[in-house]
Structure 1
């Protein structure tokens, strides 16, 4: 029972610090400091400095600010308008009509952003007014956009996958490639829901779109060429083994700068704003990672992760039972912490359990991202709910109810991943064979 007393002390200190408004990163450092002081004889100051430096100077981590900067630059371009013009002629004839632009638009922007909030804001600022103008059901517009924006956490370049890869010391490129198929399948499931809803709902009566010829549709597709080229170069270079995640991120930044320049939107003001936006986000995540690294070391010295892993092993849970327990666990803590904080805070304890159970660590990265996605749209701290509230001025409860179907689809996706793990493991395994 000693390990549970340790957990109780750690959690008490953590929630005490978070409850007083301390930043998450500093709260993690505080918990680790208390743990080291109370339960070890190690010199806390020297250990903390060394750990923070090691966590902050990781070469793998350099991909993070670059991908964030790429998303910040693209956020300040006409990308959302161009995507709507290019996608709407092709998606309008589908069952469900232009609501599909929410899902496909989020999928495309997620492939160059990596951020759920940036995806939601960029796609939403264009699609919401257009869909309202055409009398699409408000709940469907809000719900699909809130849910589909979470694809920014899975489809590469995903900031959550970068943080997960750094935390568990796994290949960022392999994690990125592993996220492609599950991300596309989840997007397809969202689209299937829209199509079914449009058939069975009596209040789904949007204004009909003017028909366009094939060549007119093709002409409008020219607006998609720059972004598709950028996605192909960034992700294709990693899949072909021509670039690491960091090098692909640098290519993405150059490509996004060229795209902004071609639209005559690259001014010193937008350049400075995008750079400072990337610095603020990167600094926040770096502080969380530094705190998590020190907390992991502190827990390691106390022997807590090993003791918990042994306790779980003694329970003789099956792989499915363990994953169900972790699903429930992450949904609950996701109600109170953002996705990145949820991952880094728990990996010190969860990683040994996963490795002991023989669960593929790359596959588990995709599993945890889907579960963290679910937490993005659950009250009271679901981050996408706050972003959507800022865009639409709807109440939090209204947005959460509108997103319930998307939440349930994500739950279904978790079971698909569990029973068909090859969805997440096939591409990384074949990438390794190609590169060898």
Structure 2
């Protein structure tokens, strides 16, 4: 076996051993990087540590990250979810599945003003879940669709994980954001289709129909959606219209979310402080993970592991579909132990050379990897959405994981569709940006 491949195996064992001991993910990555650098006697480990961590932190693209996180934290503390439920519910009553669709549509809308899967799930869940339970909806479907729909926060822009992927792979954030729109809508449509089919096949598990809301009242209720629509137009519209970069749009989003919070009378000294501290903690955690991953990436570059792995896998002469199938299985298994951000920063240094050698478009692969990482949000024992809903329902995370199994299968279908028809991800950015 190649020396580099032997070292890769040792580092993988070391990484999972350190992670299993309870050490922070960032420190575990840095420790593995340090060990890798020590195998090259002529390479100064301290200098590599300093330069790689500084380079990972000194990125203008990363400045959008804390701003989008802060925007989501602010909106989490507003009446946005309450207004969205009130505005959407009257329009969903005639669809098969009725108010279960509010989980999907509400999560899709909030995903467009947040970048976090867990925040999307928590924000919509704290209003929608009690209402659905009170009206007699099936708990399995209510919880399962909420957990699955919360993953849209990773795909529909502005997405935190797409910003991280863009930074790590040096791709355009704006192009990745635009590429995520159609796959996000497609995934939401798959979820809604599943709800409709399930409701028609299981009418006995649906509550009795509620009185139909007159058209005038439905239009009046829709007014409560105006603030979030304006927020989406301000943030996403400024990017798509070429008026602002992702970083500038993030600042606009923070300003508009503060204005929305003030308008809804939820902006207080305490809510402002809590939102700022929550965003700071999350941003520092992500920055720390990125710094540790950057050190490991630099160390692996010195050892030649990525090149050796790419040559080793390339030696099997696998067709493209087989490579993607293997990568999908790999990420699903990895998602049982790591969160999505860690999965992306940990694997890109190894996977990207192989992807480039196979001729895949890196923008397309960014959408593919986010779709696969979304599955990690609903796979026990580390799925963040499962923990969010465990706190809301008191159910065991493995029970909630069982509720989300049909949504997990639909995500696999979405991955297949994006792999078979790359234009689902690439058509919109090529149309909007290349036409300028």
**What range describes the TM-score normalised by the shorter chain of this pair?**
over 0.9
- Alpha-carbon distance in structure 1 between the residues aligned to 2:319 and 2:282: 39
In the other structure, the counterpart of 1:143 is 144
1:54 corresponds to 2:55: yes
- Alpha-carbon distance in structure 2 between the residues aligned to 1:8 and 1:312: 14
Q: Per the alignment, in what secondary structure is the counterpart of residue 381 of structure 1?
A: coil
Task: State the Cα distance separating 1:214 from its structure 2 match.
Answer: 1.3
1:173 corresponds to 2:174: yes
Task: State the Cα distance separating 1:203 from its structure 2 match.
Answer: 3.1
Task: State the Cα distance separating 1:15 from its structure 2 match.
Answer: 1.5
Task: State the Cα distance separating 1:40 from its structure 2 match.
Answer: 4.6
- Alpha-carbon distance in structure 1 between the residues aligned to 2:402 and 2:434: 45
In the other structure, the counterpart of 2:256 is 255
Q: Per the alignment, in what secondary structure is the counterpart of residue 315 of structure 1?
A: coil
Q: Per the alignment, in what secondary structure is the counterpart of residue 112 of structure 1?
A: coil
In the other structure, the counterpart of 1:376 is 377
- Alpha-carbon distance in structure 2 between the residues aligned to 1:201 and 1:212: 24
- Alpha-carbon distance in structure 1 between the residues aligned to 2:20 and 2:328: 25
- Alpha-carbon distance in structure 2 between the residues aligned to 1:38 and 1:19: 23
- Is the 8 Å Cα contact of residues 137 and 203 (structure 1) preserved in structure 2? no
- Is the 8 Å Cα contact of residues 49 and 295 (structure 2) preserved in structure 1? yes
Task: State the Cα distance separating 1:92 from its structure 2 match.
Answer: 1.1
Task: State the Cα distance separating 1:328 from its structure 2 match.
Answer: 0.3
Task: State the Cα distance separating 1:202 from its structure 2 match.
Answer: 4.5
Unaligned runs of 5+ in 2: none
Task: State the Cα distance separating 1:178 from its structure 2 match.
Answer: 0.4
- Alpha-carbon distance in structure 1 between the residues aligned to 2:177 and 2:423: 15
- Alpha-carbon distance in structure 1 between the residues aligned to 2:305 and 2:175: 29
In the other structure, the counterpart of 1:184 is 185
In the other structure, the counterpart of 1:298 is 299
- Is the 8 Å Cα contact of residues 170 and 362 (structure 1) preserved in structure 2? yes
- Alpha-carbon distance in structure 1 between the residues aligned to 2:334 and 2:85: 36
- Is the 8 Å Cα contact of residues 335 and 381 (structure 1) preserved in structure 2? yes
Task: State the Cα distance separating 1:11 from its structure 2 match.
Answer: 1.1
- Alpha-carbon distance in structure 2 between the residues aligned to 1:204 and 1:237: 44
Runs of 4+ in 1 over 6 A off after TM superposition: none
Question: TM-score normalised to the size of structure 1?
Answer: 0.98
- Is the 8 Å Cα contact of residues 40 and 302 (structure 1) preserved in structure 2? no
- Alpha-carbon distance in structure 1 between the residues aligned to 2:316 and 2:434: 37
1:22-421 aligned at under 5 Å gives the runs 22-421=23-422
- Is the 8 Å Cα contact of residues 52 and 291 (structure 1) preserved in structure 2? yes
- Is the 8 Å Cα contact of residues 111 and 156 (structure 1) preserved in structure 2? yes
Unaligned runs of 5+ in 1: none
- Is the 8 Å Cα contact of residues 173 and 238 (structure 1) preserved in structure 2? yes
Task: State the Cα distance separating 1:20 from its structure 2 match.
Answer: 1.7
In the other structure, the counterpart of 2:6 is 5
Once the two structures are superposed, what CA deviation does each residue of 1:209-233 show, in whole Å capped at 9, x if it has no partner?
Answer: 2222211110000100000111112
Q: Per the alignment, in what secondary structure is the counterpart of residue 296 of structure 1?
A: helix
- Alpha-carbon distance in structure 2 between the residues aligned to 1:17 and 1:40: 23
- Alpha-carbon distance in structure 2 between the residues aligned to 1:289 and 1:209: 50
- Alpha-carbon distance in structure 2 between the residues aligned to 1:243 and 1:377: 34
- Alpha-carbon distance in structure 1 between the residues aligned to 2:296 and 2:96: 50
Once the two structures are superposed, what CA deviation does each residue of 1:190-210 show, in whole Å capped at 9, x if it has no partner?
Answer: 000000000111432213222
Task: State the Cα distance separating 1:4 from its structure 2 match.
Answer: 2.6
- Is the 8 Å Cα contact of residues 40 and 301 (structure 1) preserved in structure 2? no
- Is the 8 Å Cα contact of residues 156 and 176 (structure 1) preserved in structure 2? yes
- Is the 8 Å Cα contact of residues 377 and 383 (structure 1) preserved in structure 2? yes
- Alpha-carbon distance in structure 2 between the residues aligned to 1:236 and 1:426: 18
Once the two structures are superposed, what CA deviation does each residue of 1:351-382 show, in whole Å capped at 9, x if it has no partner?
Answer: 00000000000000010111111111111211
Number of matched pairs: 435
- Alpha-carbon distance in structure 2 between the residues aligned to 1:32 and 1:149: 34
